[in-house]
Structure 1
Amino acid sequence: MSKLMSPTQVRPISFRTAWCWPHSKSRSCTDILQAIHRAKAGRCFVDADVCRDIGAHAHDSEFSAREMQVLRLLAHGLANKQIAKRLSLTEGTVKNYLTKLLVKLGASDRTHAVVIGLQRGVIELR
């Protein structure tokens, strides 16, 4: 059993000791207590759902500089031909980059690739 602390014994938890926790009503009291005890001890509690989300974004750092350029130009609405001209590439090379981007992002089409890139913070619209 855990002992309850008085309000004077509670210390603020810094960002360094905070835990990652998706807010959900489906979490058990045991899970919540475990997370609190880990945070109190200066350790980080990472929920399994968060780990899966992190794993889903593991490919984000694997984009080449050129793939990032193509994705940014896609986000600005340029067609393959326009991207090719802007980057001094052939249209076929742009299509190859686009194919690689679709696979890495798990996207079904170019619009989906842009949406995923924006959601993951891989690209930003300015």
Structure 2
Amino acid sequence: MQWTVDHSSPQRLQDQVAACVVRGVHDGELSVGEQLPPAAELAEALSVDRNTVLAAYRQLRVAGVLEFRRGRGARVASTADAADLAPVRRAVQAAVDLARSYGLDSSDVITLVKELS
């Protein structure tokens, strides 16, 4: 599992860390019950503060992606699959529909997304 964060991005580091975990769950790299690296270890690997990783883990616990167990660390929750991408899919569909109304095709939308990210 290769996680990276972009220190020059306007997106908060904790959101980037959280996105890595969510992407890992959706891509099948992380499975239910799998333990995540300790916050201090992951923080060192990503060159971020330990509190940044802890904030990301807490954010994911609230979202139902992670669960914390005393002495066992952070693990992928059984409810992780419920944190689906439906809101993202709806937003992308709306963007595609709008682009089509301007005569743009999917390659144009992809180009725009790459420019913005």
- TM category (shorter chain) comes to 0.3 to 0.5
Say which structure is richer in strand. 2
User: Structure 2 length as normaliser, TM-score?
Assistant: 0.36
Based on CA coordinates, which of the two structures has the bigger radius of gyration? 1
User: Structure 1 length as normaliser, TM-score?
Assistant: 0.33
